[in-house]
Amino acid sequence: MGRTWDFLTATRGATRLHWTDWASYTYLFFGVFLMFFPVVWLVLSSFKTEADLQRYPPTFLPYQQQTVTVEGYDEPLPLFEITAGEYEGMILAQLRRVGLQAQMVDPAAPEERLRVAISDYEPVEQFSLATENYSDLFGRFSFLLYFWNSTFITVMATLIMLLTNSMAAFALSKYQFRGRTAVLLLVIGTLMIPQTVVLVPLFLIVSEMGMFNSLWGVIIPGAATPTGVFLLRQYMLTIPDEILDAARMDKASEWKIYWRIILPLSAPAIAVLAILAIMWRWNDFLWPLIVLTRSENFTLQLALNSFQGELQTQWSSLLAMTVLTLLPIAMVFMFLQQYIATGIASTGGK
């Protein structure tokens, strides 16, 4: 903790702040603001009621109008502060509004009805979190189902991708065979073809194979990525061949070399690829939108999309779900980024 603090408050000037301190801290705070503000705004907004969200000008914190239960009325009544006229300074509960006039009542003396011009009052508001945005997700909308679909796709696709890509990278980096360069160029060449171009053929293949409207239809086509193969290959090239030779002399099978030597030594690169894969998969929208049409197969991204109707959009639920969708990916990143930093392999050599 002390070290973190020292790091965060490090300055160049020993006693006074050097001008570079001002410059760098200004720059850093600007960066933090630029990147962090939208997220904070999103999280706070996700706790606003639908009415609060529509308000202009918008407020930073979520507010709700205070209500009071008045004797003789079943529903809680909204409270207003009177700013002008006869009842100035009083806090009254509104019964109903008729045109520009409101019928109000003093919570302390509920028998008497008072008439106030609506230009003369302001709502009494208090900070309040609209947690129903979240509870609704679990109740009215089947958030958990979408969450499970997204998780299943992400986990399976990432695992399959890491396995196939690392095997391909192992072969392309550590075996000498005819056409190795050609294969590698072919793999990298696919990077030049935009996804939108292959969308239709890919869709035809997937539906021919009966994977339309199935989660596997999302998982399988993205299992091999040229980026992943290339990234892992470049990393594996740095593993000394002598270690592999040593393992061969130690009677390790090629599979064992891959599993016990290459994979552990490539851990940093695999962690990087895992983060990328998880982010790609979790945030993927276009391909699931094409393959998955039944709502019980929807991923979170598709469910989010379905909140946006043609005529109206349910912003409160949309925002709450966005926050929940962001959380896992943020946690994955926090966990794995540590791994990248610490895992840079030391070779067994000199």
User: What is the enclosing helix (H) or strand (E) of 117?
Assistant: strand 109-117
In whole angstroms, the minimum distance from the beta carbon of 166 to other proteins comes to 15
Contact 222, 280 (CB under 8 A): yes
In whole angstroms, the minimum distance from the beta carbon of 244 to other proteins comes to 8
In whole angstroms, the minimum distance from the beta carbon of 165 to other proteins comes to 20
Closest to other proteins by CB, 195 vs 347, is: 347
In whole angstroms, the minimum distance from the beta carbon of 273 to other proteins comes to 18
Contact 258, 201 (CB under 8 A): no
Q: Is 240 helix (H, G, I), strand (E, B) or coil?
A: coil
Q: Which amino acid is at 237?
A: L
User: What CA–CA distance (Å, rounded) separates 46 from 317?
Assistant: 8
User: What is the enclosing helix (H) or strand (E) of 123?
Assistant: strand 121-123
Task: Kindly state the tokens that stand for 227.
Answer: 């980026």
In whole angstroms, the minimum distance from the beta carbon of 175 to other proteins comes to 13
Residues that bind other proteins (CB under 8 A): 240, 242-243, 245-253, 256, 260-261, 264-265, 267, 345-350
Contact 277, 349 (CB under 8 A): no
In whole angstroms, the minimum distance from the beta carbon of 238 to other proteins comes to 12
Measured between alpha carbons, how far is residue 263 from residues 51, 104, 187, 239 in Å? Answer: 54, 73, 21, 11
User: What CA–CA distance (Å, rounded) separates 250 from 348?
Assistant: 16
In whole angstroms, the minimum distance from the beta carbon of 253 to other proteins comes to 8
Measured between alpha carbons, how far is residue 323 from residues 40, 43, 44 in Å? Answer: 10, 6, 10
Closest to other proteins by CB, 167 vs 256, is: 256
Closest to other proteins by CB, 70 vs 261, is: 261
The values of phi and psi at residue 100, to 5°, are -95, 5
Closest to other proteins by CB, 59 vs 253, is: 253
Angle CA 300–303–306, to nearest 5:
155
